[in-house]
Structure formats: C-alpha cells, structure tokens
C-alpha cells in the first residue's frame, strides 16, 4: 500500500509519540518487589515496539489479515524451520484447524474419518482433545509418566488398532514428549503426528544428531499466543507444517472452507476465477465462492499480527530467561526432593519451559492444597496441570467409554497428577528475588 510523503511523516511522528507514551505510562518496573506484591504465574512482557506496531497497524485501518500477517507468517515459519505457517485467532483454533486438515478427502487412505481413532492423553488441556470428539473421531487415552508429565510411550503399541490414524499430543509445560519414540511409532504405522506446541515454543529436541525446534518434528503443529504463552499477541495462534497439501487444507478450513486461495483483498489472484468447473456447479462459477470443505472463519487481525511481529524478536531471550528461572527453582527446591517429585527435562531436549511443576509424594505430611493455599495467601499465583484427568470432568458425562473414547490400561499416574500436582510460573517477568521468595513460601508450607 503506497502512501504519500506527508502521510509517512505523520506516521513517524505518531510512532515517536507512542514510544514516549510507553515510557511514561506503560513501562513496568519489574525489578521492584515487596513481599505481598502479586507474583503471577505468567503474563505479557513487552516494550515500546509492540505498542508502536499496534498503532501503526491501526493507522492502516485494515481490520482483517494484511501486511503484518504476511510478515508474521513468513518470519515464524523461518524461525521454526518449516515451509508453511498460517495465523489464526487462538491456540484452540489452531488445534481445531490442524485436526480438521487431517479430515480432508484429498488425503485419500490417510484421511481421518468419523469413527477413526487418535491416540492422545487425558492429562492435559481440553482443546487438544476437543476437535477429535467434536468431529466424531475416537480419542484413545494413554497414561503419562512422572517426572516428565508426558505420554508413556511404552503404551503406544497397546493403544494401536486398525482404526488408528493419528497421534495428537502436547509438550507438557514446555517439556518435549519423547519425540524420537513417538515419531518412530508414527512412521512405522503410517500415522499423522500432530504436535500441540502451545506450551513449548522455543524448545529444542535432538534425534540422531539432528536438532530441531519442537513443532518441526510432527506432520503438523500448533502454537498459542495468548498472554501467558512464550510470545503473545493477546489472542492468536498458528498452524504450521512442511506438507504442502496439509497447508492447503489448513488455509481452506481457516478461510470458510473455500477452494480458492486468493488472499483477502486480492481478487483473481490465481488468474482462473471464472473458468473452472467445481463439483456440480455451473462452469465458470466464481471461484471465490466455491467451498471444498465445511470450514470456519478463524483468521486473526493484522493488529494482532503487528504485536506478534515485535514479540518474535524477543522469543530467544524469553526462552533463555524461562530456562534460567526454571533452573533457579530447581536448585532452590532440591532439598524438598524427599517429599516433592521435582520435574526433569526430557532426554535429548532443551525445553523452553512454561512452568515448574511439582507433585506431592506419597507419605508426605501435607497435601497439594496446603502448598497452593500458602502460595495464594502470599499473593503468588498457582495452577494445576490443566484438566488433570479430562475424562473425569463434567464435559465427559454424556460420553460413553468404549464407544465415544477408549482408555488403554489404567490412568493411575494421570490420577496422581490430578490429585497431587501443581505448578508455578517461570516467565521472563520474574526476578531472582521473586523466585527466592516463592521458593521460601513453598519450603515453609512443606515444614522446612
């Protein structure tokens, strides 16, 4: 979009004023801390760049996806080392679109159909599982392990059936699941691997000497940009893949189910808008209104993307800060290893941590709630490991085991996590002083 010299000069003046506004009114002193101050488990960390980008995009008044969206998708794909990225309006939408792409008839024998099975875990966030059930496929729940809090890969073969089409699981709190074993299992049985990377952006995993960021090992992957996540644009998410056909399906399901790939505001981008024959439609039917799938409108706005573009520059230092904070918690709390199961990084991984999780051991003289109550009373936010055991929630009351979902073996470890585990934040806004204070509260709650 070409603009005049006068308009460009006006924009620059506005951006300078916005940067000044940030310094005077929005900048947060994160170093200042007094006992009793709120210590959140996570939160947005930003500077003037995000605010300037946001205002700059608003001056375009292009309210849907535009130039910042294009920039974000291109840079994000390059950062992850994948070919294709598609921005959506949330991480939950990203999971929905990633799964729905696998239902495309264009995939032939590998198409996921209603009644087909998808291996996953019940110990996680519900929107990893929701798209499977909402479509009419069958989730097959496998237990997890402690202290990694990820899928128990020894159960994969037992979970397999002649209906299995995919594995869809998340990297728990930034700790990668056993990608080597899961990837080999999927390759052996010709299954799709969907990496829910929403809590692990920036994590690394090595297989046979090759290191990639998580999200680049699966057939398709997702990220979330909700404020607590590794980078944020308020609401927002992304679906990414190296598979050109899956990318084409993602774009279709994201953009109303259209067959046309013309971007917003660019009619007849393909050059064949009025000369095609599609389905039973008349020859020359406007390609912009041909629907090859029953899709959605899950695009993000350019203003969200503008914030995301500024955040991308901070991803690596954010990940480094998360690792540093996690390491400090681990060192501080090591003396509690007799009563608390402390987390361990997955083998062959370098996690970009989302949180520091602990599980109260059997025989301890206190409960999980004793610790979380003490933390919350000191204005320190705590979180449980999401659903704990999803199938025990009210949303499963209407579903029947063996028909709507399957469980492999017992979910004893999942239940242990549900009853005894909690986590605290490691986000870049924390300081050593805050981490040490949180650690002291935990120690006192454990009787030390």
For residues 190 and 275, the answer to whether their CB atoms sit within 8 Å is no
Burial of 140 (0-12, 13-18, 19+ CB in 10 A): buried
Give the angle subtended at the CA of 252 by the CAs of 238 and 303, to the nearest 5°. Answer: 45
Active-site annotation holds for 229:
yes
Select from 147, 179, 185 the least CA-distant residue to 166: 185
Q: Supply angle C-alpha 345, 132, 219, rounded to 5.
A: 55
Distance CA 408, CA 138 (A): 13
- All residues at 6 or more sequence positions from 14 whose CB lies less than 8 Å from its CB, including other chains: 55, 59
For helices 432-445 and 368-377, what crossing angle results, to 10°?
A: 130
- CA triple 158-410-215, angle to 5 deg: 60
Catalytic residue, candidates 171, 229, 287, 293: 229
| Cross-strand pairs, 39 | 380
Catalytically active residues, by annotation: 229
């Amino acid at each position: 979009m070409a603009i005049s010299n006068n308009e460009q000069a006006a924009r620059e003046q506005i951006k300078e004023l916005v940067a000044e506004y940030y310094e005077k009114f929005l900048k947060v002193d994160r170093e200042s801390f007094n006992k009793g101050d709120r210590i959140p488990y996570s939160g947005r960390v930003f500077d003037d760049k995000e605010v300037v980008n946001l205002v700059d995009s608003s001056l375009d008044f292009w309210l849907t996806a535009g130039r910042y969206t294009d920039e974000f998708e291109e840079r994000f794909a390059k950062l992850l080392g994948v070919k294709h990225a598609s921005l959506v309006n949330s991480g939950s939408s990203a999971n929905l679109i990633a799964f729905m792409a696998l239902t495309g008839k264009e995939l032939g024998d590998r198409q996921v159909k209603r009644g087909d099975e998808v291996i996953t875990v019940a110990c996680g966030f519900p929107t990893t599982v929701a798209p499977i059930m909402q479509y009419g496929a069958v989730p097959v729940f496998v237990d997890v392990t402690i202290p990694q809090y990820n899928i128990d890969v020894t159960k994969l073969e037992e979970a397999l059936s002649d209906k299995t089409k995919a594995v869809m699981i998340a990297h728990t709190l930034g700790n990668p699941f056993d990608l080597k074993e899961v990837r080999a299992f999927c390759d052996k049985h010709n299954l799709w691997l969907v990496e829910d990377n929403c809590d692990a952006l920036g994590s690394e995993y090595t297989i046979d000497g090759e290191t990639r960021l998580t999200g680049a090992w699966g057939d398709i992957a997702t990220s979330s940009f909700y404020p607590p996540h590794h980078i944020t644009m308020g609401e927002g998410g992304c679906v990414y893949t190296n598979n050109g056909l899956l990318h084409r399906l993602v774009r279709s399901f994201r953009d109303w189910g259209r067959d046309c790939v013309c971007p917003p505001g660019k009619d007849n981008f393909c050059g064949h808008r009025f000369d095609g024959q599609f389905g039973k439609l008349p020859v020359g039917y406007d390609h912009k209104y041909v629907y090859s799938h029953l899709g959605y409108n899950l695009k993000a706005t350019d203003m969200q993307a503008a914030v995301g573009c500024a955040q991308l520059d901070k991803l690596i230092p954010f990940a480094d800060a998360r690792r540093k904070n996690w390491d400090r918690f681990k060192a501080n709390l090591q003396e509690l290893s007799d009563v608390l199961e402390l987390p361990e990084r997955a083998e062959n991984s370098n996690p970009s941590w989302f949180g520091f999780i602990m599980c109260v051991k059997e025989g301890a003289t206190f409960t999980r709630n004793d610790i979380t109550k003490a933390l919350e009373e000191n204005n320190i936010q705590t979180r449980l490991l999401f659903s704990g055991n999803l199938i025990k929630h009210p949303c499963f009351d209407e579903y029947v085991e063996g028909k709507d979902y399957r469980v492999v073996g017992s979910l004893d470890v999942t239940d242990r996590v549900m009853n005894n585990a909690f986590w605290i934040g490691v986000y870049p806004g924390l300081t050593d002083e805050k981490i040490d204070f949180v650690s002291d509260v935990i120690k006192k709650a454990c009787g030390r």
